[in-house]
Amino acid sequence: MKVAIQADVVGLDPHLEGSYSSMLVIEQVYETLLLYTPEMEIVPLLAESYDIKDPLTYEFKLQQGVTFHNGREMTSADVKYSLDRIRDPDGGSPRSQYLTAIDSIDTPDDYTVVIHLSEPFAPLLSYLASPGFNIVPQEVVEEHGDLVRTMVGTGPFMFVEQIPNTRIVVERNPDYWQEGKPYLDGIEFIPMPEDRARTDNIVTGNVDYADQIPQKDIDILKDNPDIRLEGGLSSLHDFLFFNLRQPPFDNVKVRQAIAWALDREAMTQTILYGHGQAITCGKIWPYSWAYDDCNYYDKQDLDKATQLLEEAGYGDGFSVVLKCGAPYKAQIDAAQMIKEWLAPLGIEVEVVPVEWSTYLEDLTVTYNFEMAIVGWMGMTDPDEWVYNHYHSDGQWNMWAYSNPRVDELLEEARTLVTEDERAPLYAEIQEIIAEEAPVAYFFWYEQYEAVADYVKGYAHMPNQTKITFMDTWLDK
């Protein structure tokens, strides 16, 4: 199956990688203990079953006879090694803070894993079912130092080759432990950053599947009898954020002014062609039980923005560089709209699209930005939506936001068990973030994949993973 994707794969180490394009490939080669279904229910995968002995003890019984692609059987030692590697604060994983509640991991036999927590941790199962928490073989990591260019998993497909900016190929695992699967002989992922290219290639039949169909083409493709669209309102969302480490963005009123200058409904109608939903409050998506529609930014208000800038001491405006991801037209379009809206406030914006791998380093390593635009997706539990973005020590807190009350709420919400207990805390978090505006959200995407009519068995996942490729086949 030929699959057109929007951006090239950056790295291939499941524990170190954070980019969406990389995870599309990683989840075909590596597997997790648990799995989300298309209905977003958590079910066992490499774990045959699990049992919550008490709030601090989780026992997992593993599938037997599962082998890595190098032929060695996967055991409980691999699970322990993988989770310990992820949670090592010095190991470089962007997911280490998701597992800080783990106190220790025992392996009483080859097929039993017992996780002991230091405190109750409600999101644990959600994380263990998410891409990036994959089980890897220790000896392969030690041989190569990491898995950035080497892939040896237990998954339905095996890594063949990567040619940067051209293709990455995986082939069917003939010894896959789920008998009869996968159905495909292989998958070729082809980076096509230009929106028009993905649409044209699915229409002409050069590819069988096109990811992230541009919103402007949704209505056109819906009328094509040879193509099926799969999707709906998704977790994908775009937003503007500020570097709070430096003036003027260390001033909350400057951030609020820019947040009020945005016309989110106009962005949704223009950039997404109406195929989306404006975000007027905070971070957690509308399908979540923790969603809070505080409707803080209910409309664009340039008068309020002007007043806030004057109160902040920037009534004459300032100059700023706004970076965005070069492969993503929606980010560039949003940047141009923001430039236009900020000009009447005296804020002169220079829009700078940046090549993708350099951009990721600018945002997450060197913090080389003043204002920046990025998209995010794939979260499930509300902890994943907000903890690492807004806790003072959060690993994805690229904007350097810090609020002791938010830290307190985030930490407490992790220890509570029921949704009814946790929801009010997340509501307060979202409202504080909306008011203090370290980030200005734009919209949720309606996200569709275009699939040739002969592609069978595929099911869209609301969290944008493509794990159902193992159930897909080509009927031609």
CATH of the domain at 38: 3.90.76.10
In a domain, 116, yes or no: yes
End position of a domain, from candidates 83, 115, 138: 138
Query: How does pLDDT run across 18-72, given as a tens digit for each residue?
Result: 888 999 999 999 999 999 998 889 999 999 999 999 999 999 999 999 999 999 9
Residues 317 and 391 in one domain: yes
Domain that holds residue 439: 234-445
Query: How does pLDDT run across 134-160, given as a tens digit for each residue?
Result: 999 999 999 999 999 999 999 999 999
Residues 133 and 160 in one domain: no
- Indicate whether 447 pLDDT > 80: yes
Q: Residue 297 maps to which CATH number?
A: 3.10.105.10
End position of a domain, from candidates 138, 170, 196: 138
Residues 266 and 332 in one domain: yes
Residues 60 and 166 in one domain: no
Query: How does pLDDT run across 170-205, given as a tens digit for each residue?
Result: 999 999 999 999 999 999 999 998 989 999 999 999
Which pLDDT score, from 0 to 100, does residue 464 have? Answer: 84
- Indicate whether 379 pLDDT > 80: no
Residues 282 and 397 in one domain: yes
Residues 272 and 297 in one domain: yes
In a domain, 22, yes or no: no
In a domain, 75, yes or no: yes
Residues 280 and 395 in one domain: yes
Residues 419 and 371 in one domain: yes
**Total of domains in the chain:** 3
Whether 74 and 46 have beta carbons less than 8 Å apart is answered as: yes
Residues 134 and 76 in one domain: yes
Which pLDDT score, from 0 to 100, does residue 469 have? Answer: 98
Residues 255 and 402 in one domain: yes
Q: Residue 155 maps to which CATH number?
A: 3.40.190.10
Residues 229 and 283 in one domain: no
In a domain, 19, yes or no: no
- pLDDT (average), residues 392-419: 94
- Indicate whether 13 pLDDT > 90: yes
